[in-house]
Amino acid sequence: MNNVCLCVGNYAQNPFYVKFLDISLYSMEELCYYFLERVHMLDDSIVSADLVRWIRNECGLVELADELEVYVRKQMSVSAFVTTILDKTGIYDANTVRRVEHTLKEQSSLTTAQRYKKRAEYLYQQGRFRQALSIYSELAERISLTDTAERALMYYNMASIYAMDFAFEEAAEFYYQSYLIKKDDQTRVAYILAKKMALTDYAFGGFKRENPEWEQDFSRADALFFAAQDKWEQSKEKKLVTELLELKSSVHRENYQKHMGILLEQLKRDYRRQTKD
């Protein structure tokens, strides 16, 4: 048979929990796959006594655990720790292991701020916005004030997260901080949109009068706003809300309560995923 992968060690009764990604690993195969797929996210935290204990007690790989204990005690590099596990399990070929080793050695030259940035960007791209926001907040204390490009991008991403959470006042504040550093058109329009959502019509009118030089940007913001409204009107989410409202106002209260229960459970799961440390 081709492409057969023999299992290494025991299938864990108690998983190894990766807090950063909120995932649980139950075997050495899953651990190695995690290393390979998330190589750009690995840092010194993976060289841990907890992982070594899990390999020893749950997976039953005593000899490997003995060797890794020395690595932890001597605070060996991430590349040495990870590639030893990959080598000993034999799940991936030598070229793949060397590629992982090369990537990890390159990453070792990154500053703490650069590693935080990579992690925050990964969480942002995965849609785990609250975790990303937490790391961005820590990153704000680590990025040099002279590194204007990085700080402007960080503020812009933080503003976008707040906007997606309907916290438009905070979004406007961070878009403006980004704009003060890097005065580009995209950030200015995003700032205007956030202000439009945060302010009353009367207050937004005053905001427009205070910034007459942005007339074209206000027009662009209006176009984007109405385009978003049209998109919402055509969306399946809008259709669902309409159907629920119709059920609520009809005699089918049981169907309404059933559908609302399903929707609320989904929202709760999404919220837990977003807020889990």
Q: What is the pLDDT of residue 106?
A: 84
C-alpha to C-alpha distance for 248 and 250, rounded to whole angstroms: 6
- When pLDDT is averaged across residues 9-20 and rounded to a whole number, the result is 89
Pairing of strands 23-25, 16-18: antiparallel
23: enclosing H helix or E strand: strand 23-25
Q: How confident is the model at residue 147 (pLDDT cuts 50, 70, 90)?
A: confident
CA dihedral of 264, 269, 272, 274, whole degrees rounded to 10: -100
pLDDT surpassing 50 at residue 156: yes
Contact yes or no for 189/224 (Cβ under 8 A): yes
Q: What is the pLDDT of residue 48?
A: 94
Higher local confidence (pLDDT), 254 or 91: 91
Beta bridge partners of 25: 16
Q: How confident is the model at residue 60 (pLDDT cuts 50, 70, 90)?
A: very high
Fold category of 112-233 in CATH: 1.25.40
Helices within 129-214 (DSSP H only): 129-139, 148-164, 168-181, 185-198, 201-210
User: Which of 47-56, 117-126, 137-146 is modeled with the greatest confidence?
Assistant: 47-56
Share of the chain above pLDDT 70, in %: 85
C-alpha to C-alpha distance for 107 and 218, rounded to whole angstroms: 43
Mean model confidence pLDDT for the chain: 84
C-alpha to C-alpha distance for 133 and 165, rounded to whole angstroms: 11
Reduced to 3 states (helix: H, G, I; strand: E, B; else coil), residue 24 is: strand
Q: What is the pLDDT of residues 169-187, one digit of tens each?
A: 999 999 999 999 999 999 9
- When pLDDT is averaged across residues 196-223 and rounded to a whole number, the result is 94
Q: What is the pLDDT of residue 231?
A: 87
**Residue extents of the structural domains in the chain:** 16-107, 112-233, 236-275
The string over 113-137, giving b where at least 16 C-beta atoms fall within 10 Å of a residue's C-beta and e elsewhere, is bebbbbbbbbbbeeebbebbbebbe
